Amino acid sequence: MAAGNEYHIPKMVLGSSTGQRSMPVLGFGTAADSPDSAVLKTAVLEAINLGYRHFDTAFAYGSEQALGEAIAEALKLGLVGSRDELFVTSKLWCSDAHPHLVIPALQKSLGNLQLEYLDLYLVHWPVSARPGKLELPIKEEDVVPMDFKSVWKAMEECQRLGLTKSIGVSNFSCKKLDNILSFATIPPSVNQVEMNPMWQQKKLIEFCKARNIIVTAYSPLGAKGTRWGTNDVMDSQVLKDIALARGKTIAQVCLRWIYEQGATFVPKSYNKERLKQNLDIFDWQLTEDDLHKISQIRQKKMIRVGVLHASDPKTLEELWDGEL
C-alpha cells in the first residue's frame, strides 16, 4: 500500500464551474448522528496528511465549524500549501431554500468554515421549509412549495459573486433535474444522492452522464451505525465473496464499484486505517464477473424519507417522482 501523500486521487472537471474547477473523486464525508468537534478535527487533519483534499459538509450537519477549524490548522501547520488545493462542499438547508435567503445562508456557511469561497454549493433537498425551522425531520406543516426557478437563480448569483466556484443539487430526481435544466443559465455541476451497490441509481447515472452532471454518492457504504443507514451493504454476501476473492475489504469493493460507474463518493470515516483503505482503490479493477454479480443485487432504497416527517408513501413518491 502506498504511503500517505503518495496516493493519487483522480479528479473530475465540473461542467459549469468557474475556472474549470476539478473535484477529487474521493471525498471525506462529515454527516454524523452526533458530530463530535474534537474527533472530527483530528480526523480531518489525519485525512489531509494522508492526501485527502475533498471535504463534504452541510449547514444541517453541524460540522462546518469544526471542519473550518481543522482546515485553518492544516494551513497553519503547512499540511496543505494553500486553500486552492482543497475542495470544500456545503449545502443550502431547506429553511433557507427561499430566494432572499440563499446568499445569506452561503455567507453564514463561509463564516462557519472560515473560508472566502466554497468549491461547490448544493441545494440539499428539493424541499423548502418555513424560515428558521432547523429540526429534522421537517414537520409536514413546516413544508412549503419550493420556488425552484427563483432559488436556482439565487444559487447562480452565488457563483457569479465568487462565493462558490460551482453549484449543484442533492437528492434530485431525473424529473426535478430536468426542470432545473429547462431554465438554468448555469446548469448544476453535481447531483449528490444516495448510491451504493444496494441502490445503484442506474437511470439517474445515465441521465446525468448525458447532461454532463457529476453524480456524487453519499452513504456509499450504507451509512452503517447511523439512524438513517443500514447494515445491508456491509453484510451483503455477494460483496463479501468478491472482497475475499480480490483480497480487499467490502468497503473497498463498494467504492471501487462506484468509481467504475463514473461517480464520485464521500464516505464518512474518522478511523485512520479505514481512511487509508478508502484511498487504496485506484490501482486495481473489478472483473466483468464481479460487475455482473453486483448488477444482480436486489435493489432497495435505504433513505426513504430522511428529510420529511411524513411516512406517507404518496409523499415519498412525490419527493422522488416515482423513481424509487
- Grid coordinates representing 295? 448488477
Q: Which helix (H) or strand (E) holds 175?
A: helix 174-183
How many other β-carbons are positioned within 10 Å of the β-carbon of residue 237?
Answer: 8
Q: Could you read off the pLDDT of 66-89 as tens digits, one per residue?
A: 999 999 999 999 999 999 999 999
DSSP letter string, 218-281 = ESTT--TTSTT--STTTT-HHHHHHHHHHT--HHHHHHHHHHHTT-EE------HHHHHHHHTT
Residue 132 has pLDDT above 50, yes or no: yes
Q: Which region among 33-42, 63-72, 80-89, 302-311 has the lowest average model confidence (pLDDT)?
A: 302-311
Do 305 and 313 form a contact (C-beta atoms < 8 A)?
Answer: no
Task: Kindly report each contact of residues 137-143 with a partner whose C-beta sits within 8 Å and lies 24 or more positions away, as own/partner.
Answer: 137/305, 137/306, 137/307, 137/308, 137/309, 138/94, 138/307, 138/308, 138/309, 139/309, 140/308, 140/309, 140/310, 143/308
Q: Could you read off the pLDDT of 309-322 as tens digits, one per residue?
A: 444 444 656 676 66
Written as one letter, the residue type at 273 is E
Q: What are the Cα distances from residue 14, in Å, to 11, 20, 164, 186?
A: 9, 6, 13, 12
Maximum mean pLDDT: which of 3-7, 54-58, 302-306: 54-58
137 prior amide bond cis, ω within 30: yes
CA 196, CA 194: separation in Å to the nearest integer?
A: 7
Q: Which residues pair with 144 in a beta bridge?
A: 128
Predicted pLDDT of residue 218 = 93
CA 226, CA 228: separation in Å to the nearest integer?
A: 5
Q: Is 124 annotated as a binding residue?
A: yes
CATH of the domain spanning 9-319: 3.20.20.100
Provide the residue ranges of all domains of the chain, joining segments of one domain with +.
9-319
Q: Which region among 95-104, 139-148, 256-265 has the lowest average model confidence (pLDDT)?
A: 139-148
Residue 324 has pLDDT above 90, yes or no: no
**Percent of the chain residues topping a pLDDT of 70:** 87
The residues annotated as belonging to the active site are 61
Task: Kindly report each contact of residues 247-252 with a partner whose C-beta sits within 8 Å and lies 24 or more positions away, as own/partner.
Answer: 248/284, 249/277, 250/221, 251/221, 251/277, 251/278, 252/277, 252/278, 252/280, 252/281
Q: Higher model confidence: residue 82 or residue 232?
A: 82
Q: Decide: pTM greater than 0.95.
A: no
- Grid coordinates representing 83? 486553500
